Amino acid sequence: MAFLAPLMLLGGSAVAIPIILHLLYRSRFRRVPWAAMEFLRKSIEQTRRRLKFQEWLLLALRIALLVLLALAFARPVSRSTAQSGSSANDAVDAVFVFDTSYSMDAADGPTTRLERARQAALVVLDHLPRDSTVQIVASADRAVLLGPKSPSNLSQARQIIAELRTTSLSTDHLPGLLEAEEALRTGQAANKELYLFSDMQALGFEKQQSAVAEKLRSLSRWATVYLVRCGSRPLRNATVAAIQPQSGIPHAGERLGLAVVVRNTSREPMANVSVALDAAGQTDSQVVPQLAPGETRVVSLTARFDKPGLHPLRVRLSPDDLPADNVLDQVLLVRDQVRVLVVDGRPNEREPEKSSSFFLMHSLRPVPETAWARYPIQPRMVTPRQAAPAMLADKDLCILANVRLASSASDPDALAPEFVDRLADFVRSGKGLLVFLGDQVNPVMYNQSMAQKHPLLPGRLGDVVRLPNNDPVRLDPSTCDPHGYLAGFREEPLNRIGQVEVDQYFGLDRLDEAAAVVLRYSDGRPAVIRQRFGQGAVVLVTTSPDPSWTIWPILPTFLPFVHVTLGHLLQEQTQAHNYVAGETLRWYPLARQAGNAFTLIRPDGSRTAVNAEVVSGRPVVTLQETHDAGLYQIVPTAEEDTLQEQPPTSPSDQQTPTASGQATTSSSGQHPPTASGQRKLPCTQPKLPGTLPQAIPFAVIPDLRESENLESLSDAELDARLGFSPIHLTAGDDMTAFSGSQRLHWEWTRWLLAVVVLVALAEVLVAWLSGRAW
């Protein structure tokens, strides 16, 4: 039994009133000796017993009357069985929670999972009893109550259901359940019903597993919980997991190699997966002949950027059952030149090849000396004595090559504490830092200055690990994070990094939680670690940049490692232009633009006026509603009308690029074969839209946690995780099962009021009889 108005039970405290009155006004007798009355004593004793019984009976009836009134006002309800005689036509307060994560956009037969949810919800609406109410909640990893404004307006509820759409967010059912609980408590009907329309993906119940289970159990005690499964067919799905510059730093006028990470997230093998790259008005593509279940493949594509600046690019896959993760956008920063400050901790003018920066400098400028001035990377090498904080003012990156930190002012050949302080601000502001260790490094000073005072390092340095000459460790390319910036080193020819032998390296006593190991040695210890610091990033290499500890600097894979790492550190500076769906987008215009009007162009082409608010003295444009993946643009309002709309590309005139990057389509509409004789499959996903010269681009990608595990939980698995058995239904089955057989809540108020009337009549009758003369 439960109570719809439990606070009314406090009215039961009124039972103290008749008790107090009874004690105050009960009959009192004064003994007066009278001999003539002694003959009547026995008769009086009988009368006294009768009067006392009448008083106690009246007190009990009055107490019962007050208690029953309090219970009636508290509106007790109970859930009974079908044999109770309760009516299934009592009004219902229903809440529909729709899973709007992008897995609900998956194909399920001739329709999508979300469309099945819509159809099932409309059937439920048709079977709600008269005077029922409904409220609709859209939920992914956050929830919003959509309406209707008047819960009893079922026509408006149908319109809201018809307009539902998916987002690019991942699944988490807890926010939706919290919103549903609040909505249910506002209703007045005895019957409460919660409907969760979802594909029952495991992720939605695992993100906050204990909280989700407890919330559903709590709701089930006073409401009927329906889990409506929308789609049960296994999916065939490949996803674009990442895009990484493969050949280092993007330079204007050069062709850039990009490593596109593609993964099969389904249980079925996929064949002829077409991967296309749109960038700078060009298209390049490849076909992956076979992709095994769970397999990750790195595809190499190229693009040429003729001008420096921010450039959006898009990778598209051929169609599968889940289109939402077949497109990945990214904003790339292309530069004319990159200025790098290299601090050499062991310089050697007589024998330069023995200095710590010799091989590093040649990797930064792998061209003849006559071409150094025109090369895009412009490094400047200084010693620790020469290094001054002001040198960082015009630099994009800093590299510490086996540098000793000063323990006191009396060590002029070590890096001064003032430089380390400025270096921390340098990285915090969005710049990059690459640190190589070596024999000049004192781990105590590094831990004090760059781990405690300024947490630049991704962990605390331990002791040096020295290995026998005949038993070195090697770099293990299989440990490269398949989604990380070194993903290209898992494949040929860069996987020859596994030939690198290391005799000495620094161990790490502790890694920070925000740090990520992107490459390990063959003994499992970290070799390369990265972490964010403020708006910038730091990469730590635990061995030396010279041949004193490793043969790596003299092997061919050292140069691409340096360039890819520098490219990653520079690309981190564009993270303010790359977001995951649901993250808050922030753009800082110039101070002189603080009063200007701007227009936000969303991926669907809709436009919204945005204003720059001054925060901490800086103008900032903030956008919190980034629920949809795609390319966003912020343009001055004066430039808005010059954007050329790009017509949608239909499958019939879809152009398929050749290996040379030129898009061709045969007159018959058939896609031409590749050099190997295979026909390229069309990528029917939309191509990259055009951008304005004055537009500031921002790329928002789907929350790819949704694609990592697309398996749905069975009814038995759900019952085991939740700790109770809700009512399981499947969208598309005979939805007339919503006949109300579970709507057998019974409100006892009317019967309690009837009993109150009877008790009141009994009290009046007893009081009348007690007042009569006997």
What's the pLDDT at 680?
A: 39
- Model confidence at 1, pLDDT cuts 50, 70, 90, reads low
Q: Which of these, 584, 594, 596, lies nearest to 624 by C-alpha position?
A: 584
Percent of the chain with pLDDT over 70: 82
What's the pLDDT at 669?
A: 35
CA 370 to CA 363: how far, in whole Å? 16
- Model confidence at 533, pLDDT cuts 50, 70, 90, reads confident
Encoded amino acid at 36, one letter? A
**Residue predicted with more confidence, 69 or 582:** 582
The pLDDT of residue 401 is above 90: yes
What's the pLDDT at 309?
A: 86
What's the pLDDT at 670?
A: 36
Quick: pLDDT tens for 560-573: 999 999 988 887 77
Mean pLDDT of 369-394: 91
Label each residue of 707-734 as H, E or C.
HHCCCECCHHHHHHHHCCCCEEEECCCC
CA 332 to CA 309: how far, in whole Å? 8
- Model confidence at 552, pLDDT cuts 50, 70, 90, reads very high
Q: What are 758's two structure tokens?
A: 């009877």
The pLDDT of residue 295 is above 80: yes
DSSP secondary structure of 296-339: EEEEEEEEE--S-EEEEEEEEE---S-GGGSEEEEEEEEBS-EE
Mean pLDDT of 673-679: 36
The pLDDT of residue 640 is above 70: no
- Model confidence at 659, pLDDT cuts 50, 70, 90, reads very low
Report yes or no: 700 and 626 within 8 Å, Cβ to Cβ.
yes
For residue 288, how far is the Cα from the chain centroid?
29
Residue 501: CB partners within 8 Å, gap ≥ 6?
472, 473, 474, 550, 551
Q: Which of 22-26, 200-204, 219-223, 584-588 is predicted least confidently?
A: 22-26
CA 266 to CA 413: how far, in whole Å? 58
- Mean pLDDT value across the chain: 83
Q: Which of 33-42, 83-92, 453-462, 672-681 is predicted least confidently?
A: 672-681
**Residue predicted with more confidence, 35 or 296:** 296
Label each residue of 658-689 as H, E or C.
CCCCCEECCCCCCCCECCCCCECCCCCCCCCC
Q: Which of 5-9, 508-512, 591-595 is predicted least confidently?
A: 5-9
As a 3-state breakdown, the chain gives helix, strand, coil percent values, each rounded to 5, of 30, 30, 40
CA atoms within 13 A on the CB side of 648: 7
What's the pLDDT at 83?
A: 33
Q: Can you tell me whether residue 507 is helix, strand or coil?
A: strand
DSSP secondary structure of 576-623: GGEEETTSPEEE---GGGTT--EEEE-TTS-EEEE-PEEETTEEEEEE
Measured in degrees and rounded to the nearest 5, phi and psi for residue 610 equal: -130, 150
Mean pLDDT of 240-248: 80
**Residue predicted with more confidence, 335 or 345:** 345
- Model confidence at 392, pLDDT cuts 50, 70, 90, reads very high
The pLDDT of residue 636 is above 60: yes
Mean pLDDT of 397-405: 94
**Residue predicted with more confidence, 467 or 738:** 467
The pLDDT of residue 452 is above 50: yes
What's the pLDDT at 743?
A: 55
**Residue predicted with more confidence, 773 or 755:** 755
Mean pLDDT of 670-676: 36
Mean pLDDT of 467-490: 88
Q: What are 35's two structure tokens?
A: 């001999």
The pLDDT of residue 361 is above 70: yes
What's the pLDDT at 349?
A: 87
What's the pLDDT at 110?
A: 87
The pLDDT of residue 675 is above 60: no
CA 420 to CA 412: how far, in whole Å? 14
Mean pLDDT of 154-179: 94
Q: Using CA of residue 490, residue 493, residue 499, residue 501, what is the dihedral sign?
A: negative
Mean pLDDT of 696-714: 92
Encoded amino acid at 695, one letter? A
CA 434 to CA 414: how far, in whole Å? 18
What's the pLDDT at 264?
A: 94
- Model confidence at 199, pLDDT cuts 50, 70, 90, reads very high
Quick: pLDDT tens for 56-95: 787 888 888 888 888 877 767 665 433 333 445 678 899 9
Report yes or no: 101 and 171 within 8 Å, Cβ to Cβ.
yes
- Model confidence at 5, pLDDT cuts 50, 70, 90, reads low
What's the pLDDT at 84?
A: 36
Quick: pLDDT tens for 249-260: 788 888 888 889
- Model confidence at 760, pLDDT cuts 50, 70, 90, reads confident
What's the pLDDT at 674?
A: 36
Global confidence as pTM:
0.67
Residue entry with tokens 């069309």: 682
What's the pLDDT at 200?
A: 94
Q: Which of 305-314, 326-335, 380-389, 641-650 is predicted least confidently?
A: 641-650
Q: Can you tell me whether residue 701 is helix, strand or coil?
A: strand
Mean pLDDT of 30-41: 61
Q: What are 774's two structure tokens?
A: 């006997």
What's the pLDDT at 763?
A: 80
CA atoms within 13 A on the CB side of 312: 26
Of 160-169, 420-429, 742-751, give the range with the top mean pLDDT.
160-169
**Residue predicted with more confidence, 686 or 333:** 333
Mean pLDDT of 604-623: 84
CA 57 to CA 38: how far, in whole Å? 30
- Model confidence at 658, pLDDT cuts 50, 70, 90, reads very low
